[in-house]
Structure 1
Amino acid sequence: MTGRLRAPTGRYGGKTAAERQAERRRRFLDAALQLFGDSPGYRATTVAALSEAAGLSTRQFYEEFRTLEDVLAALHLEVNDWATAAVLAAVADADQLPLTERAAAIFRAYAANVTSDPRRVRITFVEIIGVSARMEEQRLARRAHWVDLVCAEAERAVSRGEAAPRDFRLAATAFIGSVNGLLHDWNAGWVDATLDEVVEELVRQLVGILQPPGWESGRV
Structure 2
Amino acid sequence: MAGRLRAPTGRYAGKTAQERQTERRRRFLDAALQMFGDTPGYRSTTVAALSEAAGLSTRQFYEEFRTLEDVLAALHLQVNDWAEAAALGALADAEGLPLAERASAIFRAYAANVTADPRRIRLTFVEIIGVSDRLEEQRLARRSRWVNLICTEAEAAVVRGEAAPRDYQLAATAFIGSVNGLLHDWSAGWVDATLDEAVDELVRMLLGILRPAGWQPPGGGHAKDADEVAEGS
- Shorter-chain TM-score: what band? over 0.9
1:118 aligns with 2:118: yes
| Residues 174 and 6 (structure 1), Cα distance of their counterparts in 2 relative to 1, 3 Å cut | farther
1:185 aligns with 2:185: yes
Compute the displacement of 1:213 (Å).
Answer: 1.1
Counterpart residue identity of residue 63, structure 2: E
8 A contact 1:7–1:63 mirrored in 2? no
Aligned-partner Cα distance in 1 for 2:27–2:87: 26
**Superposition CA RMSD, Å:** 1.1
Aligned-partner Cα distance in 2 for 1:8–1:61: 17
Compute the displacement of 1:9 (Å).
Answer: 3.1
Aligned-partner Cα distance in 2 for 1:79–1:35: 15
Aligned-partner Cα distance in 2 for 1:174–1:128: 20
2:60 maps to which residue?
60
Residue correspondences, number: 215
Counterpart residue identity of residue 132, structure 2: S
1:18-66 residue CA offsets vs partner (Å, 9 max, x unmatched): 0000000000000000000000000000000000000000000000000
- What residue ranges of structure 1 are gaps of 5+ in the alignment? none
8 A contact 1:32–1:72 mirrored in 2? yes
1:140 aligns with 2:140: yes
Superposed, 1:1-220 pairs within 5 Å as 7-218=7-218
8 A contact 1:30–1:54 mirrored in 2? yes
1:142-167 residue CA offsets vs partner (Å, 9 max, x unmatched): 01010000001101111111000100
Counterpart residue identity of residue 89, structure 2: A
> Sequence identity, in percent?
81
Compute the displacement of 1:98 (Å).
Answer: 1.3
Counterpart residue identity of residue 125, structure 1: F
| Residues 175 and 206 (structure 1), Cα distance of their counterparts in 2 relative to 1, 3 Å cut | same
1:193-217 residue CA offsets vs partner (Å, 9 max, x unmatched): 0000000000000000000111111
Aligned-partner Cα distance in 2 for 1:155–1:189: 35
- Normalising by structure 1, report the TM-score: 0.96
Aligned-partner Cα distance in 2 for 1:168–1:31: 39
Counterpart residue identity of residue 213, structure 1: A
8 A contact 1:6–1:63 mirrored in 2? no
8 A contact 1:82–1:113 mirrored in 2? yes
In terms of Rg, which structure is larger? 2
8 A contact 1:111–1:199 mirrored in 2? yes
Compute the displacement of 1:6 (Å).
Answer: 6.0
2:228 maps to which residue?
none
- Normalising by structure 2, report the TM-score: 0.90
Aligned-partner Cα distance in 2 for 1:13–1:44: 35
Counterpart residue identity of residue 18, structure 2: A
Counterpart residue identity of residue 46, structure 1: T
- Post-superposition, which runs of at least 4 consecutive aligned residues in structure 1 deviate over 6 A? none
